[in-house]
Each structure stands twice: as C-alpha cells, then as structure tokens.
Amino acid sequence: MRNAQPLVDALRKPETVLSLDRRGWTELISIARAESLIGSLAHRLTNIEVPEQVKPVLKDAIQTTDLARLQALWEADSAQRALVPLNCKTVLMKGTAYVAADLDAGIGRSIGDLDIMVARDQLPAAEEALLDAGWEWVKPDAYDDQYYRDHMHELPPLIHRERDRMIDVHHTTLPLTAGPTPNAQAMLDASVRLDSGLYVMAPADMLLHSVAHLFADGDLAGGLRNLWDIDRLVRRFSESGEEFWAELGTRAKLHQLVPHLARALRLAVRLYGTPVYKYRAGQTKFTDYLYIRRLLARDGWGRETRKFTRQAFYIRSHWLRMPPLMLMQHLWTKWRKA
C-alpha cells in the first residue's frame, strides 16, 4: 500500500476491512500505529468480525487507551489540585478535554501531554504553583526558554519529576507571532464547567481550537488524527443543528479562523465523510489536493512518504508562525547552536 487510505476507509466505514487479506491487515495496523489512531480504529471495529490474529492486537489497543484515559484524568486532577490556590479557571484542552467531557473524540484516543489554558495574567502564578507541586522545567536552554516566554502561546513545557508526565500551560491557542489571533479571553469566558471543577471550551471554541491545532500550529504531522478529532466533534456538536453552525461561524470570525475552519471541514468531508454545513466549508480549492496528499503520506510499512511534500509543509509551518525577519533570526540562532 502506497498511502494511508486503508486507515481512512476503515475509520470512515468499518465494514471496508472485511475485504482485507492478512497482509492488508498487517499494513492497516502499521499505518494506524504510526498515525496514533490504533485505539480509535480498535473501537470502530468492535462490531466487525475480524480475523483471530487481529483480535488481540485490537484488544491491546483498547486496553492501552483505557489506561491512557485514566492517566490523563488523573494528571488533570493533579494539576487542578496544584492550581486551587489561584482560584482561576483551568481549561482542559485537546485529548484530556475530550475524555473529561465524555466526547466521542476521546474514545480510543491516545493522549500524551496534559494541555491546559489559564488567563494570561495568571501565568506566573500558575507556573510557580506547578513548580511547587513537583513539576520541573524541561528546556535547559536559555534561548529556547526565552523564545517560549516572548513568542509562544504557552509556557516552556514542564515535566513532573515523579510521574514523568508533561504539562503544557497555554494562555491562548496559537503562537503570538502567528497570523490569526484567536480571542483567548472570549474562550475562557465561554468555557464550560465540569462536575470536577475543571473547565472545557464551549463546543464551537473546542472545534476551532482543534482546527487551529491542525493547521496553524505545525506541519500537519499527526494530521489524520487531528482531522479525526474534528470529524468526531462536528458529528457530536452538529446534533443541535443550525444553532451550532451559526455559533461556529460567529466564533470563527471572532478568532480569525474562518478560512482555516472552512479548509478543515472540506478535508474532513473528503476523507471521513463528515456531515457539514456546506456554507461553512466553502468552495473546494486546488490546494486542498496538496493537503490530502500530505495527510495520506504514509505507506503500508508505516513509513513516512512524500518527502518533498512533507518538507514543503514543514517550511510553511514555520512561515505561518513567524514573520520573515524573525524566522531568519530564529533559524540562524538554531543553526549556530546545532
């Protein structure tokens, strides 16, 4: 297999796996592991009759993500306890938010770091509280540290010295140097309180953060998983119908993410058959084809393929994050230190 299409097909229509031979199964599993979607796939296939040899692989994947879910919630709880004295909203983001809010996007999802957002003026206090509670700085490099503090949307990553788990403390959703400037205060204001006392973003904001995460914050590595999150979130939130789509339009404008949202919806329709409100998705563009090409760049051995496309997206990701002069300074500093 030359691309990741079998994984996309299996997630979209689980019955497509019925036509796989043994070798096809092996390739599907390798691709799904490489894209961190093996847990999501395993859950999608629970009602499908799969070959005997495949059953334990899927069972392993489900157990692994069950544990990841438990650890993620525990980690969120630990952070919350550390931040209690601040008396501020702690908003969970990404995977931890999906499992804490019991959303489909959290089913079988792999979760690595804990991502949280607090108000920007609370950052120093939050950092101090986390350091007191056993987290430590990861980046020993002064340039990197200062770079994070001056230009990024989050504190330099912290890691817990006993549990060895990383926490990213955000104050907004995109680097300060990126083109769009999402309204972090509006996201905090609209966030929804869970029974645990932690917060998650309101539906439209949560989806838009996922969109920002997919496009503006990287080179589309892990893109198939991020797009799967988007598919799951759209399917759940759009149950409320027009209301959600109207709110999504308003919030996309507020966060300056209208074209990003449109592109994400078009790609989700194309790959996962996501039901979307056409007006939000806009017209198909030629460049959509390049995105699809990039997202599917993975062969049946689990290898990354399409080096040139990947490289182009990598350079583009830096271009999007920084103005040209700053990018040159940054790359120059990084190159000298390498």
Partner 1 sequence: MAGLHHLYLTVGPARFRVASTWRQPLDQLAALYKDYPASSDGYADFTVRLEPEKPWRRYIRPSVNISGDYWLPDAAPLPLSQSLLAAEMGMNLQMALGWRRHLLLHASSVEKDGKALLMTGLSGSGKSTLSAMLAEKGWRFMGDEFALLNPDTDMAHSFPRLISLKNEAIAAMQSIVSEGRFGPLMRGTPKGDIRHIVPPLEAVRKMADTAKPALLLFPRFGYDPALRDMGKSEIFVRLTQASTNYVALGESGFRALTKFVDTVPTKAMDYQSGEQAEELIDSLWSQLP
Residues found near partner 1 in the complex (CB under 8 A): 21-23, 25-26, 29-30, 33-34, 51, 53-54, 56-57, 59-60, 63-64, 66-67, 70, 299, 301-303, 305
Return the half-sphere exposure (C-beta side, CA atoms, 13 A cut-off) of residue 219: 13
Q: How far is the CB of 22 from partner 1 (least distance, A)?
A: 4
Count of CB atoms within 10 A of residue 119's CB?
18
Residue 53: CB minimum distance to partner 1, A: 5
We find the least distance from the C-beta atom of residue 63 to partner 1, in angstroms, to be 6
If the CB atoms of residues 16 and 305 are measured against partner 1, the closer one turns out to be 305
Nearer to partner 1, 70 or 176 (CB): 70
β 166-170/192-193 pair status: unpaired
Distance, CA of 184 to CA of 189 (rounded, Å): 9
Query: Quick check: helix, strand or coil at residue 240?
Result: helix
User: Cα torsion at 113, 92, 224, 243 (round to 10°)?
Assistant: 180
Residue 248: both structure tokens together: 């999504």
What's the closest the beta carbon of residue 247 comes to partner 1, in angstroms? Answer: 39
Comparing CB distances to partner 1, the nearer of 58 and 207 is 58
Q: How far is the CB of 114 from partner 1 (least distance, A)?
A: 17
With residue 149 as reference, give the H or E element that holds it: helix 142-151
Please give the helix or strand (H or E) that residue 135 lies within, else none.
Answer: strand 135-137
Cβ pair 137, 103 in contact under 8 A: no
DSSP SS3 for 115: strand
Distance in Å, CB of 67 to partner 1, minimum: 5
In this structure, the number of other CB atoms found within 10 A of the CB of residue 295 comes to: 24
Residue among 32 and 114 whose Cβ is closer to partner 1: 32
Two tokens, residue 311: 């490289």
CB of 11 to partner 1, least distance (A): 18
Task: Give 31 or 93: the residue with its C-beta nearer to partner 1.
Answer: 31
Are 37 and 8 in contact by the 8 Å Cβ rule? The answer is: no
Cβ proximity to partner 1, 69 vs 213, nearer residue: 69
| Comparison of 2 and 278: residue with beta carbon closer to partner 1 | 2
Amino acid at 20: L
Nearby residues of 161 by Cβ (< 8 Å), 6 or more positions away:
134, 135, 136
